[in-house]
Amino acid sequence: MMTTMTMSDLPLWAEILISLMLVTGGLFVLIGAIGMVRFPDFYMRLHAPTKATTLGVGGVLLASMGYSWQTGHFGAGELLIGPFLFLTAPVSANLLAKAALHLRVPTRAEVPPDIPLD
């Protein structure tokens, strides 16, 4: 019969490190969510979740990998999710921004007169 390890069975240093990664990841996700709500236009709202939330999910993935390794399991899912997230978030943000530029979504930023929009 296989026994499972709980968080309280981990060494203290591992618990502290995993907890710090979870809190840090959660703070980044919270900052990204606040930025998405508070920023005034589409382009600024696009920036907040793609940067901060990517770092937040990365912190949670690192914590999950640390917990898996400490309990004797191999975190293959986290190893696949990480690169997928870090590759797709910037690409999707770029495509959304290009579509918004093509549709001429208004912005509150000042555009210098010598830069054409087309």
**Total count of domains within the chain:** 1
pLDDT tens, the chain, 118 aa long:
555 656 568 889 989 999 999 999 999 999 988 988 888 888 888 888 888 878 898 899 999 998 988 888 877 888 888 888 888 888 988 999 999 999 988 887 766 566 566 6
Among left, alpha and beta (phi > 0; psi -120 to 50; other), residue 19 is alpha
Domain that holds residue 51: 12-102
115 within domain boundaries: no
Q: What is the pLDDT of residues 37-71, one digit of tens each?
A: 888 888 888 888 888 878 898 899 999 998 988 88
Q: What integer best gives the mean pLDDT of the chain?
A: 84
117 within domain boundaries: no
38 within domain boundaries: yes
3 within domain boundaries: no
pLDDT at residue 99 in the model:
94
pTM given for the model:
0.75
114 within domain boundaries: no
1 within domain boundaries: no
Dist. CA 117–CA 17, nearest whole Å: 48
pLDDT at residue 2 in the model:
53
110 within domain boundaries: no
pLDDT at residue 25 in the model:
94
7 within domain boundaries: no
